[in-house]
């Protein structure tokens, strides 16, 4: 009895396929469906990638990943694709995906082309895949070249984005025009930053943001109805710095700053195209702002450096917001700074989030967490067991990447063998020189693509696991602690390094008016109680009406005023 093959149909579109005959998803699926039915196959699934963020050069495509998972489970026998560039426009990816499916017992067939399972058939397939990758690069190159030419011809290119704050697009769409109401805000920002306020005091970006928020000045996102984390009329120091940093306000808009083809985030300045727009501030004021920015940065380096062991590693257990590091002095006469961890939701830094989590003293929390870490490092067997479990977990995570590396290595060896045979034929003179040169170039292109993919995968593997050197640092530090290293001899840099290597994370909570720190890493987890009443009173001593701050749970120890609710 003849077995009916089970088929899965796969279609993909990219941004350059829009409007082209037969390139839409419905058209591709219809062609694949007719092809499968003509061959008497049973269609078990129809998978399609739309053009919203999908790229033929990426491995992380949801429907293609689903097809690979189904193949591993043996749920179908044939993957039907319209043509080779629908599966991939990147040679290395196309070869790896096909090889993975073949090893799972799945045959990949193309509606518009047939490739035999022979050296000639594989060579033709590689040539077609190389052409598809070449076309992808050429399309991107032509688009960039065309857009740059438009800018050179005197028309601004925003790619559908909104104009910068202070500007609107001209009626003919060729340039920017000044929007006076917003431009007045931009001039105010520069004046406060460079010349100072009404008392002549230069304000920082954070102070300017506070003043604009108090004035309820609408932001760029408010005016254009865009999503933002902060409330309406609330400015952040980053928005202010964006205005101060933009050369557009001095009359010079730049095109081509970001790198379209990957690599570094920005292109070299030589690649930028300068487009003249109406200036909101003078070039002299803009340059003075850049000088003042450098001065502010250099002066900030002379401030006292404060140490927060759990910086950027803590979450609020009540509202799930991030925890900020905060330093304050109860009075101007007291030289000592008190350091706290404080919820960003409590501080009002996140829109539509109100949190009642009190402040946590840095010295108390860091001391408790570090003692817990040292205890883990010195307990017999805990470190060895934890490292073993961590490596096992990482290994499971990296298994798919290693599988791709194995397939890639086999493909590389096969292509290298073909190249060696081509060179042997060239030396013997048995085949025409032109044919051999063409095939040699194709194989060299294949090898280069496979080698690049291999380097990328190896880089991903290295970033997903602890190196031998990092493991050795943890073990050596644990040995030092076990030998009686005094806390005074442990530098903050040493402690912070161990916290990062162990990937220590924490969460702050309050239960029945008792503060807790839930701390964990791959060696273990524990809920630590901050049970010292004196320390809690000190933590709330700065949070009362007499010092213009908020209090949450109890009055000030000195003035005994009622807490704010």
Distances (CA, A) of 223 to 14, 233, 244, 520: 33, 10, 19, 43
pLDDT of 507 above 70: yes
- What is the reported pLDDT for 117? 63
The more confident residue out of 53 and 328 is 328
**Structure token pair of residue 158:** 């925003």
Q: Are 303 and 319 in contact (CB under 8 A)?
A: no
**DSSP at 203:** P
The more confident residue out of 376 and 519 is 519
pLDDT of 339 above 80: yes
Name the nearest CA neighbour of 83 among 118, 62, 56.
56
- What is the reported pLDDT for 560? 36
- What is the reported pLDDT for 482? 61
Non-local CB neighbours of 223 within 8 Å, separated by 6+ positions: 182
- What is the reported pLDDT for 428? 66
Q: Work out the average pLDDT over 220-230.
A: 75
Q: Are 43 and 36 in contact (CB under 8 A)?
A: yes
Quote the strand ranges of 146-229, DSSP E: 167-169, 176-178
Q: Helices marked H in 5-118 — which ranges?
A: 25-38, 62-72, 84-87, 91-103
- What SS3 class is residue 159? coil
Percentage of residues of the chain with pLDDT beyond 90: 15
- What is the reported pLDDT for 495? 81
Mean pLDDT of the chain: 75
Band of pLDDT at residue 58, cut at 50, 70 and 90 = low
């Amino acid at each position: 009895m003849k077995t009916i093959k089970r088929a899965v149909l796969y279609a993909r579109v990219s941004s350059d396929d829009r409007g082209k005959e037969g390139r839409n998803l419905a058209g591709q699926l219809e062609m694949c469906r007719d092809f499968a039915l003509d061959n008497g196959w049973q269609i078990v699934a129809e998978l399609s990638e739309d053009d919203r963020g999908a790229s033929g050069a990426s491995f992380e495509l949801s429907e293609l990943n689903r097809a690979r998972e189904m193949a591993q489970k043996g749920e179908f026998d044939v993957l039907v694709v319209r043509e080779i560039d629908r599966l991939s426009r990147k040679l290395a990816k196309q070869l790896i995906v096909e090889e993975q499916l073949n090893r799972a017992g799945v045959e990949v067939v193309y509606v518009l082309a047939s490739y035999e399972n022979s050296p000639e058939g594989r060579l033709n397939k590689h040539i077609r895949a190389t052409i598809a990758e070449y076309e992808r690069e050429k399309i991107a190159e032509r688009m960039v070249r065309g857009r740059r030419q438009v800018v050179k011809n005197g028309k601004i290119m925003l790619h559908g984005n909104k104009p910068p704050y202070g500007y609107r697009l001209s009626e003919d769409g060729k340039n920017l025009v000044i929007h006076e109401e917003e431009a007045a805000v931009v001039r105010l920002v520069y004046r406060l930053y460079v010349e100072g306020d009404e008392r002549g005091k230069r304000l920082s970006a954070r102070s300017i943001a506070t003043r604009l928020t108090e004035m309820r000045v609408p932001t760029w996102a408010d005016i254009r109805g865009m999503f933002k984390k902060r409330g309406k009329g609330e400015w952040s120091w980053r928005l202010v710095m964006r205005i101060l940093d933009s050369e557009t306000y001095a009359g010079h808009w730049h095109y081509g700053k970001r790198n379209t083809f990957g690599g570094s985030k920005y292109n070299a300045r030589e690649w930028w195209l300068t487009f003249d727009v109406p200036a909101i501030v003078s070039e002299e004021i803009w340059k003075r702002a850049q000088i003042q920015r450098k001065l502010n940065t250099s002066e900030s380096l002379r401030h006292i450096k404060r140490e927060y062991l759990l910086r950027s590693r803590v979450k609020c257990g009540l509202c799930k917001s991030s925890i900020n590091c905060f330093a304050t002095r109860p009075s101007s006469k007291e030289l000592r700074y008190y350091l706290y961890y404080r919820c960003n939701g409590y501080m009002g830094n996140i829109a539509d989030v109100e949190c009642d989590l009190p402040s946590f003293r840095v010295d108390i929390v860091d001391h408790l967490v570090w003692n817990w870490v040292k205890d883990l490092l010195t307990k017999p067997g805990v470190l060895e067991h934890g490292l073993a479990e961590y490596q096992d977990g990482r290994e499971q995570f990296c298994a798919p990447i290693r599988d791709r590396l194995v397939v890639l290595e086999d493909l590389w060896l096969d292509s290298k063998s073909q190249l060696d045979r081509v060179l042997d034929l060239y030396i013997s003179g048995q085949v025409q020189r032109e044919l051999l040169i063409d095939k040699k170039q194709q194989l060299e292109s294949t090898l280069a693509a496979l080698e690049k993919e291999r380097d990328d995968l190896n880089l991903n593997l290295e970033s997903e696991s602890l190196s031998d050197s990092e493991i050795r640092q943890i073990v050596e530090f644990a040995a030092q602690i076990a030998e009686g290293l005094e806390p005074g001899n442990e530098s903050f840099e040493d402690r912070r390094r161990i916290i990062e290597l162990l990937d220590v994370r924490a969460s702050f909570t309050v239960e029945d008016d008792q503060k807790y720190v839930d701390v964990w890493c791959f060696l273990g987890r524990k809920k630590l109680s901050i049970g010292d009443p004196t320390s809690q009173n000190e933590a709330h001593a700065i949070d009362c009406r007499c010092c213009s701050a908020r209090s949450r749970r109890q009055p000030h120890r000195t003035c005994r005023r009622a807490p704010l609710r």
